[in-house]
Structure 1
Amino acid sequence: MDPESLWSAAERPRRGRPPARSRAEITASAVAIADTEGLAAVTMRAVAARLGAGTMSLYSYVPNKETLLELMIDEVSGDHQLPNEPSGDWRHDLRQIAHEQRAIMRRHPWLPAALPTRQTLGPNVLAVLEYALAALAPTGLDAQARLETFTLLTGFVASHMSYELAQERAVEATGRTPGELLDAQARYLHSVVASGNYPHLARALAEPSGNQNPKAVFDRLLDRVINGIAPGA
């Protein structure tokens, strides 16, 4: 994939008649399919059918599915609603970025699985990256470390959301409530630790578990990640 060709060149069909479609229209249709049916359902044929176009006609705008996925990732990254400038409180700003990422991944549950396949950075992703690097300036980390920190933050959010969304799907499949499943898991683990073979686990289970609401769990883990980035800053 040629990032310069993808992002820098003016959009135009590669050959033939005046454009009947736009790359943005094709991307939006692909995102809509992924949101409702999952990433596997996104094919050039499916997108063409949604648009009422011939499959081959789309290749004048998007050469392959891999390129379409890059466009989709950047499209939904434009959903970030961040201030024009960081606040100066880098911990607050990182939490805000992470919560924006979580909200976007909940709206587009295919995104966590798509991110590891990304080969380039589109304009919307670059805008978020630039904001994050500016937000991290007060930490005193060098520029490369700030880049790595943003990657770490995004990786944490994507990994956690993959788990959170998978758990929700599992709950839906069982027909039981989250509370019922947690109670069943707790009964099982307490029966296991009664053997005395798992003393560390027994101590952990003996302590209050805290709020198990998905957002509360996310916040606790996010704080641990952020607090380890630059403890002295």
Structure 2
Amino acid sequence: MTTEYSGTGDPARSLALLWRTRDRPSRRGGDLSVERIVRAAIEVADAEGLAALSMRRVAERLGVGTMSLYTHVPGKGELLDVMLDTVYGETARPRDVPGGWRGRLEQIARENWALYLRHPWLLQVATTRPPLGPNLTAKYEYELAAVDGVGLTDLEMDSVVTLVNGYVHGAVRGAVEAAQATQRTGMTEQQWWHAHAPYLEKVMDPRRFPLAARVGAAAGQEYQAAADPARAFEFGLARILDGVEVLVSSR
């Protein structure tokens, strides 16, 4: 469930912070900087979830007073934007990717998948008003280049990138939830399945649910779990790219 929205800070202050056009030294001494504050905030969100993020919690992690943060960061809205832009800078952007445009889009999708797994709190941020920082801009530039020169219009290029990123955003949720369930319950998906499957076989009536019984049994046997998010991701990505190939071929 979305708990935060990007782009809620003051536009002038957010952009100044994102592009580092101003980073004043702390009046209270010490070696605080935007980078240290943002890194601490990301660590809090990674370890404790976005709900735990606050200016006070970040200050505690840094061992400083809360008010000292405001010398560098105006507020939580601006901080969240810089956190997003910072982690967007983590995606690898190799120049030479085999497989043409399709291989490049596959690489982009897998990099975004890995980014969400490293920072699950990203799923809790609505980014329809994205942080317009340098890392997001560089990421967008790189992703557009994957389909540049293949015959698509500018708007189609944007739509393809949006389609792939949107697909990853939805597909990765199952993998994140599975990882969180394992962490919080101490039971893997496979262990959960093996505990429940024998009882399911006893209550599942194949005459009442013929398709669910047959297909569910085949899937459970293959996955040794109720689902396989990584496998579903690969299957869906291939189908998405098949559709893009139809569009490219039509040109």
Verify the 8 A CA contact 1:86 1:135 in the aligned structure 2: no
In structure 2, which of residues 165, 171, 181 is the aligned counterpart of residue 160 of structure 1?
Answer: 171
Structure 2 gap ranges (5+):
1-9
In structure 2, which of residues 60, 67, 80 is the aligned counterpart of residue 69 of structure 1?
Answer: 80
Once the two structures are superposed, the pairs formed by residues 78-227 of structure 1 within 5 Å of their partners are 78-84=89-95, 89-116=100-127, 119-183=130-194, 184=196, 188=200, 191-192=203-204, 194-196=206-208, 198=209, 201=212, 204-205=215-216, 213-227=228-242
From the superposition, tell whether residues 145 and 49 of structure 1 become closer, same or farther in structure 2 (CA, over 3 Å): same
In structure 1, which of residues 225, 228, 233 is the aligned counterpart of residue 243 of structure 2?
Answer: 228
Q: How much identity, in percent, do the aligned residues show?
A: 34
**Residue 38 of structure 2 corresponds to which residue in structure 1?**
27
Deviation at 1:68, TM superposition (A): 0.8
Distance across 2 between alignment mates of 1:221 and 1:189 = 29
Between the two structures, name the one with larger relative contact order (CA 8 Å, sep ≥ 6).
2
Distance across 1 between alignment mates of 2:205 and 2:109 = 35
Partner SS state of residue 230, structure 1: helix
Which AA in structure 2 matches 1:34? A
Structure 1 gap ranges (5+):
none
Distance across 2 between alignment mates of 1:61 and 1:36 = 23
- Residue 50, structure 1, aligned to residue 61, structure 2: yes
Deviation at 1:133, TM superposition (A): 0.7
From the superposition, tell whether residues 118 and 18 of structure 1 become closer, same or farther in structure 2 (CA, over 3 Å): farther
Deviation at 1:46, TM superposition (A): 1.1
Distance across 2 between alignment mates of 1:122 and 1:37 = 25
- Per-residue CA deviations over 1:55-98 (Å, capped at 9, x if unaligned) read 11211211111111111111111111111366571111111111
TM (norm. structure 2) is 0.77
Moved more, 85-94 or 54-63: 85-94
Deviation at 1:101, TM superposition (A): 1.2
TM (norm. structure 1) is 0.82
- Per-residue CA deviations over 1:98-127 (Å, capped at 9, x if unaligned) read 111111222222122225375323211111
Which AA in structure 2 matches 1:141? L
Deviation at 1:162, TM superposition (A): 2.1
